[in-house]
Amino acid sequence: MIDLRSDTVTKPGQAMREAIATAEVGDDVLAEDPTVNLLQDKMASLLGKGAGLFVPSGTMANQVAIKTHIQPGDEILIDQDAHIYYYECAATAVIAGGQFQCLQGDNGILSPEAIAAAIRPQDIHQPPSRLICLENTHNRGGGTIYTVERTTSITKLVSDQNMKVHLDGARLFNAALAAGTTVQELSRGVDSVSICFSKGLGAPVGSVLCGSADFIAEARRFRKMFGGGMRQVGILAAACLYALDHHVERLQEDHENARRLAFELAQMDGIQVEPEQVVTNIVIFDVAGTGLDADSFVDKLSTEGVLMIPFGPTTVRAVTHMDVSTADIDRALEIIARFLKSSSR
Ligand SMILES: *Cc1c(COP(=O)(O)O)cnc(C)c1O
């Protein structure tokens, strides 16, 4: 099977499992797990923030951040395709009591102008706009990126508005690589940032949320409230530390494989994709021209040993990661080409 459904499907290899097996541990609810503390400190300094907090998932990182930033009845400005809005089970409505105002980004990327126009005036009838959520890279946007310039133009805009900015940086290392910069530059001026280790970095579990020391102290209380206080969890943090040391630079290979996939798909009859827009590890393409909808395209492909996910009525998403090689991509392309030829006959 060539599994391109998501970069979450990677499995820990032997060396990562050894790091897990030999991790020093303690009770992390008491802040006594040395491996968790090391990971949190490393991430805080990498991102240029005061402190970090290890959490089980990217969703919990985002929702703890939002709960810490807002009060019930506050409004959050967000792209309409953002993970926080689209894929987190309305957690923000249930837990923090926030209301979203959804904006339409350019493949998920918001402009400072659109945000400025959406910020509410002070008016007794209207909810106060309190938080902006950015997503870098943008998942449903096709792995698109916020540049440093775009991010700082947004953080500057809100710094004098009594508003905060949370960055969902599930794939921020991919973004830094594609933008030719660092995760710290891409986080400058944001009040909180979360990074996933269970995506392209290849760890089995874990995200880290970073922000000021005061923010993280408060977030730690909400993590406990959400049931995310874990005990000898250094065994998981050890996998994340291993990923940080060994799996960041290799993300470049995933980006090259995604570009290869997109360029070759663009040559195929019936498939629509803009390869220049593929800058990280996500490829979204349209199969309307093949006469199939996304569900049947994906179903048929799966019987040939290539897994992708339907992303819209006629759009399909493929994500590259460390468990698919360039040879796998070429084999997947051969299979797709053969399958398109046979279905057009
Ligand atoms: C995967 C992802 C998350 C978090 O997902 P979990 O499955 O909860 O770890 C958050 N934001 C984005 C953009 C993602 O792609």
CATH code of the domain covering residue 160: 3.40.640.10
Whose alpha carbon is nearest atom 14 of ligand 1? 170
DSSP 320: -
pLDDT category at 296 given cuts 50, 70, 90 is very high
Give the number of other Cβ atoms within 10 Å of residue 305's Cβ.
12
pLDDT category at 158 given cuts 50, 70, 90 is confident
- CB 168, CB 134: distance < 8 Å: yes
Q: What is the mean pLDDT of the chain?
A: 97
Ligand 1: residue of 107, 196, 198, 201 to mutate (most ligand atoms within 8 A of CB) is: 196
- CB 284, CB 6: distance < 8 Å: no
Give the number of other Cβ atoms within 10 Å of residue 125's Cβ.
6
- State whether 194 and 259 are in the same domain: no
pLDDT at 161 over 90: no
Cis amide linkage into residue 280, ω under 30° from 0: no
pLDDT category at 345 given cuts 50, 70, 90 is very low
DSSP 188: T
User: What separation in angstroms does the CA of 199 have from each of 65, 76, 90, 172?
Assistant: 19, 26, 22, 11
Q: Which residue has the higher pLDDT, 155 or 345?
A: 155
The predicted pLDDT at position 227 comes to: 98
Ligand 1: residue of 66, 199, 208, 319 to mutate (most ligand atoms within 8 A of CB) is: 199
The predicted pLDDT at position 162 comes to: 86
DSSP 272: B
- State whether 158 and 228 are in the same domain: yes
The predicted pLDDT at position 342 comes to: 84
Reported as a single tens digit per residue, the pLDDT across 167-193 is 999 999 999 999 999 999 999 999 999
% of the chain at pLDDT higher than 70:
99
Ligand 1: residue of 64, 87, 207 to mutate (most ligand atoms within 8 A of CB) is: 87
Binding pocket residue ranges, ligand 1, CB within 6 Å = 57-59, 62, 83, 135, 139, 168, 170, 196, 198-199, 207
Ligand 1 atom closest to residue 138's alpha carbon, by position in its atom list: 13
Q: Which of 199, 217, 246 is the last residue of a domain?
A: 246
Q: Residue 122 Cα, ligand 1 centroid: separation in angstroms?
A: 33
- State whether 259 and 219 are in the same domain: no
Least confident of 32-41, 43-52, 150-159, 191-200: 150-159
Give the chain's end-to-end CA distance (angstroms, integer): 26
Q: Residue 170 Cα, ligand 1 centroid: separation in angstroms?
A: 6
- State whether 159 and 207 are in the same domain: yes
pLDDT at 20 over 60: yes
- State whether 193 and 143 are in the same domain: yes
Continuous H helices in the chain: 14-21, 34-47, 58-69, 83-86, 91, 112-118, 148-159, 172-179, 183-187, 213-225, 234-246, 251-266, 294-303, 326-344
pLDDT at 330 over 60: yes
Q: Residue 345 Cα, ligand 1 centroid: separation in angstroms?
A: 40
Ligand 1 atom closest to residue 168's alpha carbon, by position in its atom list: 11
Pairwise CA distance, residues 210 & 50, whole Å: 7
| Dihedral (Cα; 38, 40, 45, 46), 10-degree rounding | 100
Q: How many domains does the chain have?
A: 2
pLDDT at 341 over 90: no
- State whether 221 and 147 are in the same domain: yes
pLDDT category at 344 given cuts 50, 70, 90 is low
Q: Residue 124 Cα, ligand 1 centroid: separation in angstroms?
A: 35
Q: Which of 246, 267, 284 is the last residue of a domain?
A: 246
- State whether 69 and 110 are in the same domain: yes
Task: Give the residue numbers spanning the domain of 315.
Answer: 250-343
Q: Quick one: average pLDDT of 39-58? A: 98
